Amino acid sequence: MRLTPARVADERDWIRTRADTVVPLINDIRDDLGTHFDTDVDHVTTAQYQQAVDTVFADGDLAVNVAAMVALLRELDVQDDYPGFVVDELLGRELAATIAGTQPLRTLGEATFHYADIHVHGDPDQNAGLDDLDAALAAGFQERLPGWDWTDRESPFRVE
């Protein structure tokens, strides 16, 4: 695989076009987790998702790494799938964490990836990595985007 600035831009554009799949998944995840944690979590709009994609790709060092993982997952397919289970999980988890940002969002992105992954099932005719890719995009961007009350307040552990 060769990554160039043009290829990174193409991957960004592809991720933006996944809004019809990723945004509803983000909102389903937020509804489920909100219920589990007894809190209301704001839904995400297509415009918010696409703006967050643009923000990720505005940081060139972050963009090239996200683009590489996306490209790998888009192409990843393993005969009989199960032997490749570990590599698509590894790439998906890392992609979600990378998109989510710094700690603690990074770890939450990884955890949310596994939650999302069990709810996303790809078409049998598609590459095995695509369902993990959708789960990773949803998990990473849902952490990055506002809507969780705890992220909208000052931490009580902040030391001045």
Alpha-carbon Rg for the chain in angstroms = 16
What's the pLDDT at 50?
98
What's the pLDDT at 119?
82
Tens digits of pLDDT across the chain (160 residues): 899 999 999 999 999 999 999 999 999 999 999 999 898 999 999 999 999 999 999 999 999 999 999 999 888 877 666 666 778 889 999 999 999 999 999 999 999 999 998 887 766 666 667 788 999 999 999 999 988 877 777 888 889 8
Torsion of CA 135, 104, 98, 18, to 10 degrees: 40
d(CA 89, CA 111): 12
